[in-house]
Structure 1
Amino acid sequence: MDMISVRQAPELALRAIAYFQRHWATAETLMMYEDAINRSLGAANPLPQWYLLMENDQILGCAGLITNDFISRGELYPWLCALYVEEAQRGRGYGAKLIEHVAAETRRLGFPQLHLCTDLEGYYERSGFVYNGLGYHPWGESSRVYSRVL
Structure 2
Amino acid sequence: MDNQLTFRYATIADIDQLLFIEKTCFATPWDRASFEHEITINKHGHYLIAEYNNEVVGYAGAWFIYDEGHITNVAILPTFRGRKFGKRLMKALLILAKQNEVSYLTLEVRASNLVAQNLYQSLEFQALAIRKRYYTDNQEDAVIMRVDFDNNQTEEA
TM range (shorter): 0.7 to 0.9
Distance 1:15-1:89 versus aligned 2 partners, 3 A rule: closer
Counterpart-to-counterpart distance in 2, 1:101 and 1:25: 25
Aligned length: 135
Aligned to 1:3: 7
Distance 1:41-1:87 versus aligned 2 partners, 3 A rule: closer
Aligned with 2:121 (options 125, 128, 136): 125
Unaligned stretches of 5+ residues in structure 2: 150-157
SS at match of 1:103: helix
Letter of the aligned partner of 2:25 in structure 1? H
Counterpart-to-counterpart distance in 1, 2:42 and 2:74: 24
Aligned to 1:20: 22
TM-score with structure 1 setting the length:
0.74
Counterpart-to-counterpart distance in 2, 1:44 and 1:145: 23
Deviation at 1:25, TM superposition (A): 4.8
Are the equivalent residues in 2 in contact too, given 1:113–1:149 (CA < 8 A)? Answer: yes
Does residue 60 of structure 1 match 2:81? Answer: no
Distance 1:86-1:44 versus aligned 2 partners, 3 A rule: closer
Moved >6 Å (runs of 4+): none
Does residue 80 of structure 1 match 2:84? Answer: no
TM-score with structure 2 setting the length:
0.71
Unaligned stretches of 5+ residues in structure 1: 68-76
Does residue 90 of structure 1 match 2:89? Answer: no
Counterpart-to-counterpart distance in 2, 1:33 and 1:101: 25
Deviation at 1:90, TM superposition (A): 2.2
Equivalent residues in 2 for 1:37-52, closer than 5 Å = 37-43=35-41, 45=43, 47-52=44-49
Deviation at 1:88, TM superposition (A): 3.0
Are the equivalent residues in 2 in contact too, given 1:134–1:144 (CA < 8 A)? Answer: yes
Aligned to 2:98: 107
SS at match of 2:92: helix
Aligned to 1:146: 145
Identity within the alignment, %: 13
